[in-house]
Amino acid sequence: MMAAMDGSVLWRSALLQALTLGIVALTLGALLDREFFRSWGWLAGPGAWAACALFTGFVLRLPLAKVLVGAALAGLPSLAGVIAGVHWVGAPFAVALFALWCGRLAARERVVA
């Protein structure tokens, strides 16, 4: 049995998450030095990811607590890239997983409402 999916929310969440994450990453990279990321990247990265996910959820009118859970779960596989020293390899995969979560969440919320 295939899970219900809102394809429109899936694509909009993927684009919005990727766009906001890119903007935040470029802004932080321009404003902060490499040493900041060596010392605080473990906090700045997940914080930026969560903030972008919350923004995406807000714009798409999704339940924010559930969006945050999805963002945390989607971000876990990207840790392999961080550990391997190729930080950005996992970001597209994490965005795709997050978009799938949002698409399913939107379909479920529509059924419940």
pLDDT in tens, 50-92: 999 999 999 999 999 999 999 999 999 888 887 887 777 889 9
The pLDDT value recorded for residue 113 is 55
- Judged by average pLDDT, the poorest of 19-23, 65-69, 88-92, 96-100 is 88-92
Phi and psi (nearest 5°) for 78? Answer: -70, -15
Q: 13, 95 in Cβ contact below 8 A?
A: no
The pLDDT value recorded for residue 88 is 77
Give the C-alpha separation, 24 to 61, whole Å: 21
